[in-house]
Amino acid sequence: MEEEEQEDKGELPDVVEEQEALRRFGAGVPEDEAFRVVVSLKRLLDKEPLAKARFWGKIKGLKRDYLIAECKIDESRVPERDEVDEDEEEVDGKPAETIFEGLAGYKANNKPKVLAEDAKGANDNVYYVATNEDLSEWVRLPDVLPAHVAGARYIYKLFTGDLDAPVEAHPPFPGVERHYLRAQIARISATCTVCPKDVFTTEGAVEEDEEDDNGNIIPKPFEVAPYEEIPPLNPQDAPDSEDTEGIAPIKGWFYGYKNDELLDVSNWVHIAPSLLADGRATKFISEEEPAQDDEEEDDTEPEEGIPNRERINPFLSTLSHDSAMSCTGHTKADLPAWVARKAFDTTSSTTRAYLVRSLLWDGAVCCAVAEADVPGAQFINYYCGNGVKSISSGSYAPALPPLRSAEFPVVGLQLMKDCTYDDEIEFEPTPPVPVVKQEDEEEEDE
C-alpha cells in the first residue's frame, strides 16, 4: 500500500525552549504548563488552516486567565465560501425612532466611516484564545476594528475571563470583552514587538535625506507620515568579505553582539507599525473622495479634527526614541520606557541571553539569545500581565461627561425670580377654619 501523503501543517516554534529562556529572567510559564501549551497548539494546527503559530502570551483575568496564540492564515488551505445571493437586499439599519436621534446622527452619518484593515496592519495576524481551565478549546477572536482601538484608549478595565461579558465603562465601549481583548492585543503588539538592532532591514520606512545647496543634510524631525502601504521587513543579509563599505554599518551584527551591547536600549528596534489616532496602522483613504495631488492638498486647508500627519515612530526606530514616563513622587523626573538586563551565567559558554522589559505595558518583554562571532540573534516577544497600560500618574481618572446642550433660544422670554421667605409669609393664604361636629358640641355643652 502506498503511504498516504501527510498534509503540511503550520510551523510551530519550540515553546518549551522559549519559556525556559524567559524563566531565566523571572518571566514565562512553568515547564508543565509549557508542555500543555505545545500539545494544545499542535491540535490547533490540525484543526485550523494555519501557516504558523506561536505562543503570544497570557492575560490574567479575575475569574480565569487567557492564553493567546498568534497565527498566520494559510490561504491555500482555506475552504471556499458559498456565494451570497445577489438578490438579497442589504439592510442599512433601523430608522430613527425619535427626531432627536435622527438629528444627532445626521452629521456623523455624513462623515466617511473608517473601515477595518483586511489582512494587513493591525489584522495582519489572527489570534486564538483559550483559558487556563480548558486548553483544548481555542476560540478565534474577531478582527480588530478602528472603533474598538479608539474606544479602548479611553477606558481602564480589567478582564473577567468571559469573552461574552459586557464591558461596563465610561465612555461606553462598542463591544463585549472579546472585542476589548482583541483591541488590547493590537495595542500591545504595535508598541512592544521589538528585536535587536540590524536583524532586519527595510526600504521605504523613512523618506530619503534632503541636502541643501552646500551639500549638507537637512535634519528632519523624528516623525513620519502615516503609511499607505506598510514597508516589508527583510532579514539582514551578510555582506561579502570584499565589501568593506557594507560591513561598516552592520559590524556589530555581523560579528555578534559583543561587550554587552544589548544592555543599551538604543540597540533594540521596533518591528511593528504604530497605530494611528483612528485605530488603524495604515492611512485610511475613503473611496468616495478621490485622492488629490500633493499640490492641491497644499492649497486646501485640512478638515478640523482629521490631522494630515500623525507623530508615529518609523520602522526600525530604536527604543531610546520612545517617550519617557513621569511618575509622581519619584526621584527621577523622567523614567525610560524600556529597561534592559542580562541573564546571570556562571558557565564559560559564549552564548548570552538579554532581555528588555517595557514599563509602559507591564509584562511585555523581549528575550534575545546571542552567540559570540555569530551573526544575528534569536529573539522571543512575550507578554504576561493584566492587559492594561501602566498609569504614570499613579491614579486613573475617567473621562468627563460632555458639556450640556444650550437651551433653545426664545425671543422676549422673561424668567420669574424665586420669592423670598417674607414674600411667602405675606402671600400665604389664611388657614381654613376647622369644622366641629355636632356630637363634639353636645359633649362640650354637657
Query: Tens of pLDDT along 396-421?
Result: 667 777 788 877 777 777 777 888 88
Q: For residue 274, give its domain range.
A: 15-77+108-205+221-385
DSSP-assigned letter for residue 269: E
Cis peptide before 171 (omega within 30 of 0): yes
Q: How confident is the model at residue 152 (pLDDT cuts 50, 70, 90)?
A: very high
Cell of 74: 494559510
* pLDDT value of residue 306: 42
The model's pTM: 0.75
Does residue 31 sit within a domain? Answer: yes
Q: Is residue 233 part of a domain?
A: yes
The answer to whether 197 and 267 are in contact (CB under 8 A) is yes
User: Has residue 407 been placed in a domain?
Assistant: no
pLDDT higher than 90, residue 180 = yes
For residue range 23-67, list pLDDT tens digits in order.
999 888 999 999 999 999 999 999 888 999 999 999 999 999 999
Number of structural domains the chain divides into: 1
Residue 9 lies in a domain: no
User: Residue 296: helix, strand or coil by DSSP?
Assistant: helix
Pick from 47, 44, 51: nearest CA to 69: 44
Which of 70, 73, 32, 82 is CA-nearest to residue 51?
A: 73
Residue 212's pLDDT band (cuts 50, 70, 90): low
At 425, is the secondary structure helix, strand, or coil?
Answer: helix
In a domain, residue 330? The reply is: yes
Block residue for cell numbers 555569530: 374
For the ranges 91-105, 173-187, 249-263, 279-293, the one whose mean pLDDT is highest: 173-187
Instruction: Count CB-CB contacts under 10 A for residue 99.
Output: 8
In a domain, residue 257? The reply is yes
Pairing state of beta strands 50-59 and 378-385?
A: parallel
What is residue 381's predicted lDDT score, i.e. its pLDDT?
95
pLDDT (0 to 100) of residue 171? 86
pLDDT digits (tens, 9 = 90+) for 296-347: 444 434 344 444 445 577 788 889 888 888 766 666 667 888 999 998 775 6
**Hey, what amino acid is at 79?**
P
Please provide the average confidence, as pLDDT, over all residues in the chain: 77
The answer to the question of residue 50 being in a domain is yes
**162 C-beta neighbours (distance < 10 Å), count:** 15
Tell me, yes or no, whether 395 lies in a domain: no
Q: Using one digit for the tens of pLDDT, what is the confidence trace for 227-258?
A: 778 888 888 766 555 554 545 555 556 777 87
Q: What letter does residue 50 receive in the DSSP assignment? A: E
Tell me the pLDDT band of 186, cut-offs 50, 70 and 90. Answer: very high
Report which of residues 84 and 409 the model is more confident about: 409
DSSP letter at 354 equals E
Per the document, the length of the chain is 446
